[in-house]
Amino acid sequence: MGKKVVLTGNYSASEAAALCRPDLIAAYPITPQSSVVEYLAGMVHNGKIDANLVQVESEHSACSVVQGAVAAGGRVFTATSAQGLALMYEPYFRMSTLRFPMVMALATREMTSPETVWSGQQDAMSVREAGWIQVYCDGNQEIVDMVIQGYKIAENEKVLLPVNVCYDGFYSSHLTEGVDLPLQEEVDRFLPAVHFNHCVLDPEKPFALDPLTPGPLMMKYRKSHLDAMEAALTVIEEVDKEFGDQFGRYYGGAISEYRTEDADVVILTIGGMTGTGMDAVDLAREQGIKAGLVKIRFARPFPAKRIAKALAGKKAFAVIDRSVSFGWSTGPMYMETRAALTDVDDKFAHFSAIGGLGGADISLDRMLGTIKKLDTVKNEPGQKETQWYMTD
């Protein structure tokens, strides 16, 4: 097994990225991600990893530089947050649509304005339609394991897509706890050296990359991209099993469930609120409420079928979002969960809960409050008012 170390969430991402033997790392500092690449820069400087580290002048450049390296057949890594992600949007979109596999850590942060540097998932949620795979972690062990699994998923020939490993800014990025860090030889066994056939820049064999593409061909590319997303749902489960068989830690694939088997009411969580939600479920059970939890691990591809199966036969559900969907007066994962269910208003009482914006806390009391509200409305199917975790 690995070695027990005490790390922050950001350093967990760095250590895991280093274990994946990246050829090139480029990033630009932004709170709360900055220490991910500072730590990696230190590892490169000290000779602990053999990677090219490129200091760039912006996130747009960071994403462009890693894009060039992956086009040349390399394994690459970067990290960002919020406004940095916004600035890299143009090469970010091209990364997925060129089908370039890579892993980017995203220490999720609220989008300005008002000016903020604190936690929130609005940044990651706003790029759900940019073609990347997105996994949301709860805790530092999951960050380590999903960076490693991320490359395995991204580089699978049925997938060939970039992966965002998302974790909550500060509440996870700056959380210190013990993790089991896999040994290099174990990771090497799980994640062999990368070989791409579709993207190799070789001066001896010049070819044009990304020429102007007419609509009919574009349609084929987009469909193929969507097919790869669909295929990723299976690959995610396979990689979870392979990882679990080797390292002893299984995460359940695209979703995981906690005490849902006999539950009447279910909360759906995403990211670092999940552990608190499990404690809330236990407390609710002690108070006689048959509560359960579904953790949405991957938002892209969205695990619609598994969520529908997990909620089948339940009376009520609430989806707790750490971001908003402008235009729906709800959180985005709530809308997508609804879309995954048929006859939702006949079968379930349901509502959206929104909390934790701009660094606000998603507390045990708040989550317990959501479960209690579900319990009171569970026999009245249909959508209820959005619950906001306001302080006053």
Partner 1 sequence: MKEIRLHGRGGQGVVKASQIVVRAAVAGGKNGQFIPFFGVERKGSPVFGYLRISEEPIRRKMQVYEPEILVIMDDSLVGLPATYAGLKDGGIVVINSVKTAEELGVPSNAGEIAIVDASGIAEELIGRNIPNTSMLGAFAKASGLVDKEVLFTEIEKAFGAVNRQAAERAYEETIVTKK
Give residues in contact with partner 1 (CB under 8 A).
4, 6, 8, 31, 138-139, 168, 170-172, 174-178, 272-276, 278-279, 359, 361-365
Nearest to 33 by CA among 87, 91, 95, 99: 87
Give the shortest CB-316-to-partner 1 separation in angstroms.
23
What is the distance of C-alpha 188 from the center of its chain?
A: 23
| Separation of alpha carbons 59 and 30, rounded Å | 9
* DSSP letter string, 102-124: -EEEEEE-PPSSSP--S--SHHH
Residue 42 amino acid letter: G
Give the shortest CB-106-to-partner 1 separation in angstroms.
17
Longest dimension (CA), the chain: 70
| Cβ closest to partner 1, residue 121 vs residue 276 | 276
Nearest to 281 by CA among 264, 296, 267: 267
Helices 364-377/274-286 angle, 10° precision = 50
Give the shortest CB-41-to-partner 1 separation in angstroms.
19
Give the shortest CB-313-to-partner 1 separation in angstroms.
26
| Cβ closest to partner 1, residue 91 vs residue 139 | 139
| Inter-CA distances, 143 with 103, 344, 355, Å | 12, 33, 22
Give the shortest CB-280-to-partner 1 separation in angstroms.
9
Nearest to 279 by CA among 358, 371, 154, 160: 371
| Cβ closest to partner 1, residue 6 vs residue 219 | 6
Give the shortest CB-249-to-partner 1 separation in angstroms.
13
| Cβ closest to partner 1, residue 188 vs residue 361 | 361
Residue 59 amino acid letter: E
Give the shortest CB-112-to-partner 1 separation in angstroms.
15
Contact between residue 349 and residue 374 where contact means Cβ atoms under 8 Å apart: yes
Pairing of strands 291-296, 52-55: unpaired
Length of the chain equals 392
| Cβ closest to partner 1, residue 72 vs residue 364 | 364
| Cβ closest to partner 1, residue 14 vs residue 172 | 172
Nearest to 28 by CA among 72, 82, 93: 82
| Cβ closest to partner 1, residue 286 vs residue 385 | 286
